[in-house]
Amino acid sequence: MAEKDFSEVFVSLRSILTPYAPHMEVIADSPTEYGLQTHWRRPKDGYPGYFGGVKVGKRYVSFHLMPVYAFPDLLGSTSPDLLKRMQGKSCFNFTKVDEAVLAELTDLTRLGYRSFEANGLLENSHG
């Protein structure tokens, strides 16, 4: 059985994160994976903060958004359509482009960015 082509889904999800790239470090950028980490470093070990990413898998495309893990209240008004795609605490899985759900995910990503910014989780203040 041929693997499903998720390129359209990947491109749509990637486009949600790319506006934030100028403010972060792009740690993956390929046709199947895209990721952003912040310039903030954890004080205890210096490890960089992860903001989010998109990765093509065998059965779906995963969209990881760490602000919803760090600030679960961001999910307070999330629709059932987006929540049913959630796996774990910060991952959403997609098999097709759904404009309404992607618009909501875009808004959630914007809120997540603002939460990271407001809490000093974008810039390294220790060095």
Mean pLDDT (10-residue bins), the chain, 127 residues: 78 98 96 96 89 97 97 96 96 96 98 96 69
> What is d(CA 106, CA 100) in angstroms, rounded to the nearest whole number?
10
* Tokens of residue 114, six digits: 């603002």
Q: Quick one: fold of 7-96+103-118?
A: Aspartate Aminotransferase, domain 1 (3.90.1150)
- The DSSP bridge pattern shows strands 91-94 and 86-87 to be antiparallel
Model confidence, pTM? 0.92
Question: What pLDDT score was predicted for residue 3?
Answer: 53
Q: Where are the domains of the chain?
A: 7-96+103-118
Instruction: Name the 3-class secondary structure at 45.
Output: coil
Cα–Cα dist 85/97, whole Å: 12
Q: What is the DSSP letter of 20?
A: G
Residue pair 52/109 in contact (Cβ under 8 Å)? The answer is yes
**For residue 55, what are its two tokens?**
């990765």
